[in-house]
Amino acid sequence: MSQKEASSEKKVILVTGGTGLVGNAIKTIALGEEKRDNEEWVFASSKDADLSNTAATEALFDKVKPTHVIHLAALVGGLFRNLKYNLDFYRINSMINDNVLNLSYQRGVKKVVSCLSTCIFPDKTTYPIDETMVHNGPPHSSNYGYAFSKRMIDVQNRAYHNQHGCQFTS
């Protein structure tokens, strides 16, 4: 397939967490000045599917049939919720990430881009920071559950690429 044919091929882009801060910013650009005729964008929220539930995630993928995924979805909370429910944040976000990435692999999604978070960086670090420093030490103790689950997206993306050749990145 030529580059011209590939660029005109129909793309269905599923944005998980599509109604959050980053999702809305992408929506403004994708449906505005950068709109392309060969792209269909689906901005999914937690009202569309509980991505921590495999069956609900499968149903969303069955309905949307994405060719590409921008994975932004996460269970988020403020400082006090993170302190009180670190285990819940780890478990639920890990399930969300596993469901989205595994279904993307199973359904032949061409590319997945997963969004990380600044809070995943090591608590004790040097500045400026960059993506090569993500795994250089533990995150702050106040949000370690959320931070480690988000870090694991990076690990999962690499593993899907190394084992299956998937174009998954974070």
**Residues involved in catalysis:** 146
Residue 83 carries which side chain, given as an amino acid letter? L
How many distinct helices (H) and strands (E) make up the chain? 6, 5
Instruction: Copy the structure tokens of residue 40.
Output: 């269909």
> Would you tell me the crossing angle of helices 144-164 and 86-106 to the nearest 10 degrees?
20
DSSP letters spanning 85-126 = -HHHHHHHHHHHHHHHHHHHHHTT-SEEEE---GGGS-SS--
